[in-house]
Chain A
Amino acid sequence: MKIEIAPTAATAAYQIRRVASDDYPKLCREIRGCVLEMSGRAKTAHLGSSLSCVEILAALYGGMLTIDPSHPTAATRDRMIFSKGHAISALYATLALFDFFPASSLSEFGKHGGKLPEQPSPWCQPGVEVATGSLGHGLSIGVGMALAAKINRQHYRVYVVMSDGECNEGSVWEAAMMAPAHRLGNLVAIVDFNKWQATGRSEEILALSSLKDKFTAFGWNSFDVNGHSVEALLTVLRGSIDSDKPTAIIAHTIKGKGISFMEDDNNWHYRIPNDEELRAGRKELGLL
């Protein structure tokens, strides 16, 4: 299935393609299909975590980010830090579909000698900014990049996609205090709040709720959003950024979203689909 991605007047000059709003469901199905195949082929975990952030990535790459796939390290590009590195198959799939590298490379995921490790590395393929296999680093790196934009007088934005379990890390809250102190209006954190972490409900392991209130109390411009609605995500991303404050988007999602027997079942944090489950998953995604 080939995604039709139409250029817009605003982005054509930068060779950046935008997705027409009607095409997002198709794009998200395609990303999920790639994620399922990669997990099945490489026998890797974290399928549930990858499936929950698909609309977030689709909204960012399809509607927001100014990153030219032909010049993925251009100094003026937006920065997208995928801080929940364990769900990297979703980012690899998205990058391939947006022509950062050939989709055929996805078959190298988790392979000996391949270029797509199970946790991201900046040395793997174009479009991956930083190594984020260890949680709690991405937001701080994002603060550094956002500060650099101010120092260098550049106008890019920095987006950081995080997991809810990641917010257990103290370093996240160190960064959360620093960003408003420096009025980093060019920084946007999106938390994929799927309500689960590796071994249990995220609210029961450490008291996460309310994430929105926590970020607001720390001085952020914060929103609760349906994380499976590209339209809702883009509405906030396009219309509610405060140039004087960092923005936190708490994207409420469902772990394993898109494949009914995986949805909200935390076994799929680690479980690897067998052949029968792969077939059932493909069927649900309309790929069979």
Chain B
Amino acid sequence: MRNAFAAEVTEMAQRDKQVVLLSGDIGNRLFDQYKEVAPDRFINCGVAEANMISVAAGLSFCGLRPIAYTIAPFITSRCFEQIKVDVCYHRAPVIIVGTGAGLSYASLGSTHHSFEDIAIMRVLPEMTVMCPADRREVRLALRQALAHDGPVYIRIGKKGEPDVHACDPELAIGRGIVLRKGKDVCFLSTGNMLAVAVECAEQLQAHGVSAGVISCPTVKPLDEHLLSQLFAELPLVCTLEEHSIIGGFGAAVAEWSKRHSDSGAGLLSFGIADEFMHETGDQEHARRQFGLTAPQVVARVLSTLSTQSGERS
């Protein structure tokens, strides 16, 4: 996803002379091409994220379109007040890109994990929150963010994530992307869990369960039309994300369903438990720890469907 971000932002800077890329002293060599295309519109702000966000706001107040980029926890929780006041309160069209989100940097330890960024970004008025799933979604999300007249947080992974989409999907802010339809359960996935969602649906098919998969690159605003349909038609909806089960995508869907749906559809939220990860391990290891691999998800879904069917009969 990182390379897709660098490629897209380079093309955007070439097309749009208002685009300015700010980096928090990361991305060594990643932006070499960008720097060739727009040398005076690349600003390394150093290891000073609070300043970087306010500088981005100042640039935007003068008609430029800043894109601030660094590792997810450092560009969200470290400089939260600058995002709240300088960006959101002023409705500044600043694009904030957090890389290595969720468990992407699992092996680096808790300082580099971001299980809380969706929660603290989506609570801010005016903020749009996007979590693209693969390289194609990263590029499309960036284009949507640049066309949007307001603050956008884009949460991306690292590199090497599987490509889920074979061609560019139709991606718009506040709209889900239906990959497959199901009759028994539907997986709503945000960010890099989409490949797991697809795997889950395939495994469930072998158990005779018809599972749909929808990619939700926008966490805020939610695709309310789609949610209304799903909760009205299906007995079970599952959310998948590399984020805390508190305050993230699953929580947003749960809040929505409690307020807007009385269908009785079940909701399972797959995410990271309310705890720090103290042991060492890579992303796959961390996903196993938090029950986020396809076999673990499938087992929980089957068990829930079986309980639901027992209750009905």
Contact = CB atoms under 8 A, between A and B. Distances in A.
Nearest to A140: B54
Select the residue from B43, B50, B58, B86 with max chain A CB neighbours within 10 A: B58
B269 to A, nearest CB: 34
A208 interface: no
B48 A178 contact: yes
Contact of B63 (A134, A141, A148): A148
Interface in A80-99: none
A122 B90 contact: yes
Interface in A23-48: none
B45 interface: yes
Given A147-B59, A178-B45, A131 B20 contact: no
Contacts of B57: 130, 141, 144
Interface in B46-86: 46, 48, 50-51, 53-64, 66, 81-82, 85-86
B143 interface: no
Given A144-B57, A145-B62, 15 more contacts: A75-B63, A133-B85, A137-B86, A140-B86, A141-B54, A141-B57, A141-B58, A143-B55, A144-B54, A144-B66, A145-B61, A146-B58, A147-B55, A152-B62, A175-B51
Contacts, number: 96
A140 B46 contact: no
Query: DSSP majority for the B interface?
Result: helix
Interface in A116-141: 121-122, 129-131, 133-134, 136-137, 140-141
B40 interface: yes
B41 A151 contact: yes
A171 B51 contact: yes
A239 interface: no
Interface string B230-268: 000000000000000000000000000000000000000
Interface of B: 20, 40-41, 43, 45-46, 48, 50-51, 53-64, 66, 81-82, 85-86, 89-90
A141 B89 contact: no
A152 B45 CA distance: 19
9 contacts: A130-B57, A130-B61, A131-B85, A141-B58, A147-B55, A147-B58, A148-B58, A175-B51, A178-B45
A140 B62 contact: no
Nearest to B60: A144
A162 B55 CA distance: 16
B90 A131 contact: yes
A137 B51 CA distance: 8
Contact of A140 (B20, B51, B64, B90): B51
9 shortest interchain CB distances as A-B pairs:
A144-B58, A140-B54, A148-B62, A174-B51, A174-B48, A144-B55, A141-B58, A145-B58, A171-B50
Nearest to A121: B89
Contact of B61 (A121, A129, A150, A171): A129
Contacts of A133: 85
